[in-house]
Amino acid sequence: MSETTKEAPSRGRAGPGGGGFGPGRHLGVGMPAPKSKDFRGSFKRLAGYLRPQMALIIIVLALAAASVAFSVVGPKLLGNATNLVFEGALGAQLGQSLPPGTTKDQAVAGLRAAGKTDLADLLASMDVTPGQGVEFDAVRQLLMLVALVYALSALLGWMQQYLMAGVAQRAVYQLRRQADEKLARLPLRYYDSQPRGDVLSRVTNDIDNIAQTLQQSLTQIITAVLTIIGVLAMMFWISPLLALVSLLTLPLSIGSAILIAKRSQKQFAAQWKHTGTLNGHIEEMFSGHAIVKVFGRQEEAIEVFDRENELLYEASFKAQFISGIIMPSMNFINNLNYVAIAVIGGLRVAQGQMSLGDVQAFIQYSRQFTQPITQTASIMNVMQSTVASAERVFELLDEAEEIPESQTPVTMPRVEGHIEMSDVSFRYEPDTPLIEDLSLDARPGSTVAIVGPTGAGKTTLVNLLMRFYEIDEGTISIDGVDIREMSRNDLRRTFGMVLQDAWLFKGTIRDNIAYGREDASDEALDEAARAAHVDHFVRTLPDGYDTVLDDEASNISAGERQLLTIARAFLADPEILILDEATSSVDTRTEVLIQQAMSRLMKGRTSFVIAHRLSTIRNADTIIVMDHGRIIEQGNHEALMAAEGFYCDLYNSQFVDAYDEAS
């Protein structure tokens, strides 16, 4: 009896566990689980996460076994109690119809003489004393035992699940942590090539999915399997004949379930497909809301939506309908089984070959029997989806990491900021050269402006300098030391970076500025804030430096965000700077502030500027002109203008009426 009701929560999987209540979790019979590539291998690897807790798992298994054993013994003992009551009742009846003092043997003989052989056999097999009613002491003792057994079963079951919660959550915690640590070791190439949403989904949704399964399905499958074994054993022990009868109906129910599931599978697949298309359409129409409206395309949007929605409805209806047949048909077969057991059992009781209590126990067992089997089947389905998730996480964990650090890194006590690039070549894709034989000499304190049209690959240079990407040929050195001889962290510490996309995290303004240097004193922080013109506007905020920047930092303007990142760079006090001047979303007054702060920041530092301001460009010591991902010109303003090349063109284009060129 104890396992039957677990079916309900398992189907919905709405119980406790991770947060993933999404549709993917509800893998009832016949829902297609995303297929894994190497089920065995990935399953083993996932199981590996449980290995450190092997001792606990063994305890959990032992507890589960004991809990199941107790709950399986229960009905048999309860059957014995019924026997006692039955015998007592029969005794009392006999006592009324027979003269007092008649023994059981005499009663049996009397019955045989009267030709009632069946009744005689029944009586003979029982422990009845005519005239003696129900022995309440014995019944009480037995029932106390049953209650104890059930109580123990519940207690052990609780302990098992309690411990398992710890095992599962620890394993998942570990997995999440590993994924996070792995991300820190991955090269930028991975970040740039992988859609952010996908990586995020691996670390969150997929791991949640695994958490749910470890928490729920694992304990369920353990108890389900143990219950099947236990119940089967009890059934054969009580009556091999009835056990065989029950087993006979088993293939019937499994077969019909499979038959129906196969049909519904197709419909479920269709359902998920249509769900996907519909979601895609909704997402697109809502993201482009204004465009849809202004172009007057709402009618079409709704039309497409209705079509997809209707398809989804039809598919889900069919899927539900077909899979809805499973339960009733299983029930029908179960009831057939029930009737068979009741009839055969009844005959055998009448013949005295079986006790009433045993039949009662047997019926309970046979009811308990089919449930764990269907449960196991649906968990198998869940497993498929879990292993598929695990594979996605493992894929992340198996990504190639950054090339190892130099074994004997050079540490430089003082960095002047003299950067030399000689014959540097680099390509993202092996067959499309990006930077070829680039040489550049940036003296300490000088400014290098990088200019070029959008998408010209200006950030590539930054990537190489910071060793976000490794160069293919040539060398980059700082004060004569090859950057590959330095540890990445030391190298990056010499750089300060202010990017166009002002990245701030959710935290106070103070924490965000202090991001530049963890051990910074309050005075240093104040100084940096003032230098970056942050101080004034921060003080106008209600919580000042303790203002928490919200999700997208929308409580301060884009320009103010930029100023904060400048303050962060000030505090870090690097020898070399990388700046991105793009200011398309910044208002002009803040722009002036940013410009001032940036020039102040650049003072005395070697600076690489992705330049948009002509004044910066013209005052730069070296201008690097990039187009189509390649450096096409290099020199100072005067030299480049004199060359009358691309730069000259670019520079002039801002003020000439370019109509003739355009048409």
Tell me which residues in 199-218 interact with another protein (CB under 8 A): 199-200, 203-204, 208, 211, 215
Distance, in Å, from the CA atom of 515 to the CA atom of 508, rounded to the nearest integer, reads 11
Query: Quick check: 104 binds another protein (CB under 8 A)?
Result: no
**Site residues for another protein, window 584-643 (CB under 8 A)?**
584-592, 595, 613-615, 618
Identity of residue 217: S
Query: Which residue has tokens 């043997």?
Result: 105
Q: Which is nearer to another protein, 236 or 651 (CB)?
A: 651
Query: Quick check: 307 binds another protein (CB under 8 A)?
Result: no
Q: Binding another protein by CB under 8 A: which of 44, 293, 443, 539?
A: 293
Distance, in Å, from the CA atom of 185 to the CA atom of 187, rounded to the nearest integer, reads 7
Q: Report in angstroms how near the CB of residue 420 gets to another protein at its nearest.
A: 21
Angle (CA) 328-331-333 rounded to 5° is: 115
Query: Quick check: 262 binds another protein (CB under 8 A)?
Result: no
Q: Which is nearer to another protein, 90 or 476 (CB)?
A: 90
**Site residues for another protein, window 378-437 (CB under 8 A)?**
none
Judge contact between 469 and 429, C-beta under 8 A: no
Q: Which is nearer to another protein, 316 or 634 (CB)?
A: 316
Distance, in Å, from the CA atom of 376 to the CA atom of 26, rounded to the nearest integer, reads 15
C-alpha to C-alpha distances, 346 to 242, 352, 484, nearest whole angstrom: 11, 10, 86
**Site residues for another protein, window 490-519 (CB under 8 A)?**
492-493, 495-497, 499, 501, 503, 505-506, 515-516, 518
213 closest CA partner among 8, 481, 20, 494: 20
Phi-psi category of residue 305: left, alpha or beta, with phi > 0 → left and psi -120 to 50 → alpha: alpha
Query: Quick check: 154 binds another protein (CB under 8 A)?
Result: yes
**Site residues for another protein, window 166-185 (CB under 8 A)?**
166, 168-170, 172-173, 176-177, 180-181, 183-184
Q: Binding another protein by CB under 8 A: which of 29, 123, 221, 285?
A: 285
Q: Binding another protein by CB under 8 A: which of 54, 191, 237, 643?
A: 191
Judge contact between 160 and 63, C-beta under 8 A: yes
CB-based burial, 128-137: b 16+ in 10 Å, e otherwise: bbbbeebbee
Query: Quick check: 530 binds another protein (CB under 8 A)?
Result: no
Q: Binding another protein by CB under 8 A: which of 35, 140, 536, 539?
A: 140
Identity of residue 613: R
Distance, in Å, from the CA atom of 247 to the CA atom of 333, rounded to the nearest integer, reads 12
Query: Quick check: 365 binds another protein (CB under 8 A)?
Result: no
Q: Which is nearer to another protein, 188 or 254 (CB)?
A: 188
Query: Quick check: 150 binds another protein (CB under 8 A)?
Result: yes
Helix and strand totals (H; E) in the chain: 26, 10
Q: Which is nearer to another protein, 253 or 629 (CB)?
A: 629
Q: Which is nearer to another protein, 155 or 250 (CB)?
A: 155
Query: Quick check: 280 binds another protein (CB under 8 A)?
Result: yes
Q: Which is nearer to another protein, 36 or 149 (CB)?
A: 149
Distance, in Å, from the CA atom of 342 to the CA atom of 269, rounded to the nearest integer, reads 41
Q: Which is nearer to another protein, 37 or 177 (CB)?
A: 177
Q: Report in angstroms how near the CB of residue 536 gets to another protein at its nearest.
A: 16
Name the DSSP class of 548. Answer: B
Distance, in Å, from the CA atom of 90 to the CA atom of 485, rounded to the nearest integer, reads 96
Query: Quick check: 554 binds another protein (CB under 8 A)?
Result: no
Q: Binding another protein by CB under 8 A: which of 128, 278, 326, 597?
A: 278
Q: Report in angstroms how near the CB of residue 221 gets to another protein at its nearest.
A: 15
Q: Which is nearer to another protein, 166 or 240 (CB)?
A: 166
Q: Which is nearer to another protein, 170 or 630 (CB)?
A: 170
**Site residues for another protein, window 15-74 (CB under 8 A)?**
15-19, 21-23, 26, 67, 71, 74
Q: How far apart are the first and last CA of the chain?
A: 84
Distance, in Å, from the CA atom of 477 to the CA atom of 455, rounded to the nearest integer, reads 26
Please tell me whether residue 580 adopts helix, strand or coil conformation.
Answer: strand
Q: Binding another protein by CB under 8 A: which of 61, 558, 632, 641?
A: 558
Kind and range of the H or E run holding 353: none
Q: Report in angstroms how near the CB of residue 168 gets to another protein at its nearest.
A: 7
Query: Quick check: 291 binds another protein (CB under 8 A)?
Result: yes
Q: What is the DSSP string of 62-103?
A: HHHHHHHHHHHHHHHHHHHHHHHHHHHHHHHHHHHHS-TT--
Name the DSSP class of 351. Answer: T
Over its C-alpha atoms, the chain yields an Rg (Å, rounded) of: 39
Q: Binding another protein by CB under 8 A: which of 27, 60, 72, 78?
A: 78
Candidate ranges 54-62, 299-307, 416-424, 475-483; the one touching another protein (CB under 8 A):
299-307
Kind and range of the H or E run holding 179: helix 136-185
Size of the site for another protein (CB under 8 A): 168
Give the contact letters, 437-476, x = binds to another protein (CB under 8 A), - = no.
---------------xxxx----------x-x--------
Query: Quick check: 541 binds another protein (CB under 8 A)?
Result: no
Candidate ranges 228-236, 291-299, 389-397, 410-418; the one touching another protein (CB under 8 A):
291-299
Distance, in Å, from the CA atom of 284 to the CA atom of 517, rounded to the nearest integer, reads 42
Q: Which is nearer to another protein, 435 or 466 (CB)?
A: 466
**Site residues for another protein, window 340-359 (CB under 8 A)?**
356
Strands 473-478 and 606-610: unpaired
Q: Looking at the chain, how many residues does it have?
A: 663
**Site residues for another protein, window 563-582 (CB under 8 A)?**
565, 568, 572, 578
Residues in a beta bridge with 343? none
Judge contact between 445 and 605, C-beta under 8 A: yes
